[in-house]
Amino acid sequence: MTAQIISGKEIAERLLEAELQPRVESLNNKNVQPKLVIVLVGENPASKSYIRQKEKFADKAGILHETLTYPDTITEIELLNIIDDLNNDTTVHGFMVQAPLPDHISMSKVVDAISPIKDADGFTPESVGNLFLGEDSLQCCTPKGIIRMIKESGAEFSGQHVVVIGRSNIVGKPVAILALNESATVTICHSRTQNLNNYVAQADILIVAVGRPEFVHGDQIKEGTTVIDVGIHRTDEGKLVGDVHFESASKKAKAISPVPGGVGPMTVFSLIENTIEAAERASI
Ligand code: GUN
């Protein structure tokens, strides 16, 4: 079997035209210009590269955006005051603070300060609580993008066994809850899971967010699995790889997301979609 490639890049571009641009247009017709603000502290090159992708996609969607950059000497109080200003700025519909932050600033204090109605990342405790309860709210971008790309690939969730490897607060835990809310049977595995292969071999849908290069190989999965690879790593030879060994897994999987061009573009898509959603809610 040669797997169908679930191209997040293609799905995001298609949905941009089919869904996001028309939603922005109808907001514009009501004199609403959706606006995203990205806050960057310091000079992390990976953060700058992620932000460039977000800015590019925001441009394509036709929304306003601004990136506020501060030196890594900024104090926690100063950053919290900036967040307060953004919470109160009626021209801003969604904003996010790019992680990682310098060690002297607490990411959880920063996230707690973000108003849930402008929480473009879906990271606040209220947003996470709503996701858990299955209530409408701004959802965490990577999990939201993963669920959407699986649906777009044609796979069903109801009654299927979704196995998640990874238990982070921003991918593993929320994607498991979202899959459960879609009526899947869900198993969460992680670095301490015993007999991991037993679970991986049972997966109808396997979501790998373990943070280790090429951790899952084709011989571990059953024929016909849908595989979503959340990892991204640069090898010593300079090649980008995921948490899944693509070559072997694509021989067994029914469908598989590539790295790059898989989950990454769907995360960006969800961030822009959340900003539009926040603008729609604010304009009712
Ligand atoms: N750093 C890497 N990815 C992300 C993300 O999705 N959101 C934030 N806030 N920081 C990040």
Task: Measure the CA–CA gap between 1 and 150, rounded to whole angstroms.
Answer: 19
CB 165 within 8 A of CB 221: no
| C-alpha dihedral sign at 4, 9, 157, 233 | positive
Residue 176 pLDDT > 90:
yes
Across the range 67-84, mean pLDDT stands at 98
Domain assignment present for 48: yes
Is 89 in the active site? Answer: no
CB 162 within 8 A of CB 185: yes
Looking at the structure, do residues 90 and 182 belong to the same domain, yes or no? no
Please report the pLDDT score of residue 103 as a whole number. Answer: 98
Domain assignment present for 98: yes
Domain assignment present for 20: no
* pLDDT level of residue 90 (50, 70, 90 thresholds): very high
Q: Is the CB of 95 under 6 A from ligand 1?
A: no
Domain final position from 115, 130, 165: 115
Q: Is the CB of 50 under 6 A from ligand 1?
A: yes
Looking at the structure, do residues 149 and 239 belong to the same domain, yes or no? yes
60 burial type by CB count under 10 A (0-12 exposed, 13-18 middle, 19+ buried) = middle
CB 259 within 8 A of CB 229: yes
Looking at the structure, do residues 202 and 245 belong to the same domain, yes or no? yes
Task: Say what percent of the chain tops pLDDT 90.
Answer: 99
Residue 284 pLDDT > 90:
no
Looking at the structure, do residues 111 and 149 belong to the same domain, yes or no? no
The domain that holds 149 is classified in CATH as 3.40.50.720
223 burial type by CB count under 10 A (0-12 exposed, 13-18 middle, 19+ buried) = exposed
Please report the pLDDT score of residue 239 as a whole number. Answer: 96
Rounded (5°) CA angle 267-273-278: 130
Looking at the structure, do residues 186 and 104 belong to the same domain, yes or no? no
Segment (H or E) for 151: helix 141-152
Looking at the structure, do residues 155 and 228 belong to the same domain, yes or no? yes
Looking at the structure, do residues 81 and 158 belong to the same domain, yes or no? no
Q: Residues 35-59: pLDDT tens digits?
A: 999 999 999 999 999 999 999 999 9
Domain assignment present for 3: no
Ligand 1 atom closest to the CA of 142, numbered from 1: 6
| C-alpha dihedral sign at 195, 193, 127, 276 | negative
CB atoms within 10 A of CB 59: 12
Domain containing 86 equals 31-115
Residue 115 pLDDT > 80:
yes
Residue 92 pLDDT > 90:
yes
Task: Measure the CA–CA gap between 150 and 184, rounded to whole angstroms.
Answer: 12
Looking at the structure, do residues 181 and 244 belong to the same domain, yes or no? yes
Q: Is the CB of 97 under 6 A from ligand 1?
A: yes
Looking at the structure, do residues 147 and 109 belong to the same domain, yes or no? no
Residue nearest to atom 2 of ligand 1 (CA): 99
Task: Say what percent of the chain tops pLDDT 70.
Answer: 100
Looking at the structure, do residues 92 and 167 belong to the same domain, yes or no? no
Looking at the structure, do residues 109 and 163 belong to the same domain, yes or no? no
* pLDDT level of residue 186 (50, 70, 90 thresholds): very high
Could you say which DSSP state residue 219 is in?
G
Ligand 1 atom closest to the CA of 121, numbered from 1: 7
Is 252 in the active site? Answer: no
Domain assignment present for 122: no
* pLDDT level of residue 195 (50, 70, 90 thresholds): very high
User: First vs last Cα of the chain: how many Å apart?
Assistant: 49
Q: Judging by DSSP bridges, how do beta strands 233-234 and 240-241 pair with one another?
A: antiparallel
Tally of structural domains, the chain:
2
* pLDDT level of residue 264 (50, 70, 90 thresholds): very high
Please report the pLDDT score of residue 236 as a whole number. Answer: 96
CB 176 within 8 A of CB 145: no
Task: Measure the CA–CA gap between 256 and 4, rounded to whole angstroms.
Answer: 6
* pLDDT level of residue 123 (50, 70, 90 thresholds): very high
- Could you tell me the distance, in angstroms and rounded to a whole number, from the CA of residue 168 to the centre of ligand 1? 13
